Amino acid sequence: MSLKGKTAVVTGGARGLGRAIALRLASDGAAVSVWDLKREGAEETAGMIQKLSGRAIACVANAGSASDIAAATSCTRAELGPITILVNNAALSPFAPFETITEEMWDALMALNLKGPFLCTKAIIPDMLAAGWGRIINISSSSAQTGSSAQAHYAASKAGVMGFTKALAIEYATRGITVNNVPPGFVDTEGLRASPVDIEGFAQKTPMKRPGKPENIAAAVAFLASEAADYITGHTLSVNGGRYMN
């Protein structure tokens, strides 16, 4: 599944799922622009790719800021060329009982988790239209499929990502651009370890009785970015060890 000659943007690429996705796309031949608010982490991911003889740059950007996105898009085009693969991964997944969620908390999460993919796609899709080829992969969440206690704002934002995916898939289906989403479920990342989830206890309630790995998500993204997936669009490719079955 060679991506040689393609340029990819991975938002939230400083660690966890984003880092694994960036590394996998690079191993498949893509030049990768790693976007993240955390400069050190983004540069570390880009450096890991470069050490493996891949092409990569790091861009410090808030994926919910139109001005940051414009600057990162311009830098990526200048350094790596037109962008034809976009992975909208940047997100936060906070826990808060519903009664404690304020309007400000709701708006801030929607600005990153839902408005962010809109802004990034808006900035980058002209390159895909010009090329007549593009891959947009949105990272949603199994929480949007199953619900999640104390995460009403998070589950709602990720359900919005799923709807956004389907709408774009229909709109651009005849223009060489596919749009799909991957909802991770119970994956062993820094974020999961820092959350209030009882990892071992929750694992025993799932069919495989273990968490997934970031590389599992990266493999799904790489497939959807490849030529092998050129007749797949508007699809939800669940990677969750059987936690939720479509």
Which residues are annotated as catalytic? Answer: 154
- Which residue carries 């599944």 as its tokens? 1
DSSP string covering 200-231: HHHHTTSTT-S-B-HHHHHHHHHHHHSGGGTT
Cβ burial 6-22 (10 Å sphere, 16+ → b, else e): bbbbbbbbbbbbbbbbb
CB 11 within 8 A of CB 89: yes
CA 198/CA 192 separation, integer angstroms: 9
Cβ contacts of residue 55 below 8 Å, gap of 6+?
Answer: 26, 31, 32, 49, 80
CA 151/CA 106 separation, integer angstroms: 11
CA 120/CA 163 separation, integer angstroms: 16
